[in-house]
Structure 1
Amino acid sequence: MNVLSRDWLLSEDPETRAQAKLGQFYRVVRALSRNPLAMVGLAIIIALLLVAAFASWIAPYSPFEGSLQNRLQPPSVAHWMGTDELGRDIYSRVIHGARITLMIVLLVAVIAAPLGLIVGAVSGYFGGWVDRVLMGVTDVFLSMPRLILALAFVAALGPGIENAVIAIAITAWPVYARIARAETLTFRTAEFIAAVQMQGASHARVIWRHVIPLCLSSTIVRVTLDMAGIILTAAGLGFLGLGAQPPMPEWGAMISRGRAFILDQWWVATMPGFAIVIVSLGFCLFGDGLRDVLDPKQKVKS
């Protein structure tokens, strides 16, 4: 990037809103790139995206078809992660399982984060009985462990990956609601909010155009940090047979089927376990770096 472009992005007196947003984005990216652990996490996330996108080309074998003659083969040149009890290539199944994991993570984030953000913003903005009712419902969900609550919802809805996504999303939104409410309480009586209200803006417009955007950074950070928990919850449901159903190559279900061979054929359960650990670690590292950059208590220096 040349000096003129950099000076334009870092200008303290931006001429347009677009210039201000681009400058803020450039500062965040610069600060994030100085964190080696965050870059490691970002590399893992990008690798997950690429693997999920090109799984059909990367995987050397079908994730569903196997040969009983090759069952429970140890890791080798032909099968990098060995084979399972049905002779299926574990490496190919782990590769295709990245698609399922990514789909679950994205769907839960798309459902839970906006729901929690809206509930928290409305609760913090109006206060009074609205706040007491909404936060009372939120506290009910927060009072129970997430995995236990997800198990209850899946048991009611029935096993399956779609129901697992719904159950995890239902248990995930209260955290975002609490964060959005706390953020809203800090500026709901600010002068710029009062000025917008005096101009005749409706409550819905104030919440949508001014309150929610100010809560986005904290919500994004929390979503990134929660990705690891979402992956573990989905794997837990799959392990118990309540998530993705066979023969889907879901990592938790693969571990469940491999536990019967853990002493003699350790690779059957260990390889998908490694995938869960690595991907979860990637989201944690990137989320920590993003939190340090977007923390309003810290000033991102140019």
Structure 2
Amino acid sequence: MISSDWLLSSEPASRRQAAWGRRYQAWLAFRRNPLAVAGLAVALAMLLMAVFAPLLATHDPGAQNLANRLQPPSAAHWFGTDELGRDVWTRILYGARITLGMVVAVVLLVAPVGLLVGCAAGYAGGWLDRILMRVTDVFLAFPRLILALAFVAAMKPGVESAVAAIALTAWPPYARLARAETLRIRDADFIAAVRMAGASPWRIVLRHVAPVCIPSLIVRVTLDMSSIILTAAGLGFLGLGAQPPLPEWGTMIATARRFILDQWWVPVIPGIAIFLASLSFNLLGDGLRDVLDPKQR
């Protein structure tokens, strides 16, 4: 079993020990921020609820029972029922699969693209840098939701279209961040040494520049997840994201907004889920920024 003394040794005996020691010190620094730990706990809880939704659900998310419609929260229905008699708790669980799944899909699409574009532009410079950054500026000139609406309007509304539209509008900040980090290190001694050893530009970018940019990118991605959640929910609310009867949180609010005054639990509970997910990722991102961003140290 690995001990804390082995991890915190000031004279590591191997690269493996040094790497694990750095990770452990980062965890200790992260743990000192209680809000960040709370954000991590809530985010992990929501992800686990989404993964194990079939085990945690008490009803079929699509089963309708009009005789039991708009029932308040009770022992039989923890979060009540909606206008078609469907269990809101179950639909929240399955909605987490859709909403958080969209967030994960967008991050997996845009983070590598933004990292590659930014590193290539920053390392190459010249005409390639100017072209890539002008394309990035064009995307940054439009509000994300408005641009996503335009892309979805050109495609068929649905989960896949929403993911593609959000991904097309979310990559520019990552490219800008990666370019700034690359400009900072491209003339460093270790990059010059690798270049003199005969490494190709792409090898230098992929093996030596990009890994240096990843910590800052992780912080930005975590902080950006809340806006991705809000954009996905906004598209669903406007009818351009997940389509009924899929239990996506934004779609659930859209179909239940007329019950806000009398049967408040139907639209409010999905709103609370969106709020908690966004807040947890913001708190987690703040904690990671304190640990991973060298400018914060």
In 2: Cα distance, 1:105 partner to 1:18 partner:
33
How many pairs were matched up? 297
Q: Do structure 1's residue 58 and structure 2's residue 71 form an aligned pair? A: no
The structural deviation recorded for 1:13 is 3.9
Q: Do structure 1's residue 129 and structure 2's residue 127 form an aligned pair? A: yes
In 2: Cα distance, 1:8 partner to 1:74 partner:
55
**SS of the residue 2:133 aligns to:** helix
TM alignment of 1:66-145, pairs within 5 A: 66-145=64-143
Provide the residue aligned with 1:203 in structure 2: 201
In 1: Cα distance, 2:227 partner to 2:79 partner:
25
Q: Do structure 1's residue 28 and structure 2's residue 26 form an aligned pair? A: yes
In 2: Cα distance, 1:15 partner to 1:142 partner:
47
Q: Quote the RMSD (CA, aligned, Å).
A: 1.2
Letter of the structure 1 residue corresponding to residue 138 of structure 2: V
Q: Check conservation: 2:289, 2:296, Cα contact below 8 A.
A: no
Provide the residue aligned with 1:246 in structure 2: 244
In 2: Cα distance, 1:112 partner to 1:222 partner:
12
Report sequence identity in percent.
Answer: 64
Letter of the structure 1 residue corresponding to residue 128 of structure 2: V
Letter of the structure 1 residue corresponding to residue 101 of structure 2: M
Letter of the structure 1 residue corresponding to residue 229 of structure 2: I
Q: Do structure 1's residue 38 and structure 2's residue 36 form an aligned pair? A: yes
**Structure 2 residue corresponding to 1:286, chosen from 284, 287, 293:** 284
Which deviates more from structure 2 when the two are superposed, residues 71-80 or residues 118-127? Answer: 71-80
**SS of the residue 1:297 aligns to:** helix
Letter of the structure 2 residue corresponding to residue 151 of structure 1: L
Which deviates more from structure 2 when the two are superposed, residues 201-210 or residues 17-26? Answer: 17-26
The structural deviation recorded for 1:72 is 1.1
The structural deviation recorded for 1:221 is 0.4
Taking structure 1 as the reference length, the TM-score comes to 0.96
**Structure 1 residue corresponding to 2:171, chosen from 170, 173, 192:** 173
In 2: Cα distance, 1:128 partner to 1:14 partner:
42
Provide the residue aligned with 1:162 in structure 2: 160
In 2: Cα distance, 1:14 partner to 1:211 partner:
25
Provide the residue aligned with 1:214 in structure 2: 212
The structural deviation recorded for 1:125 is 0.4
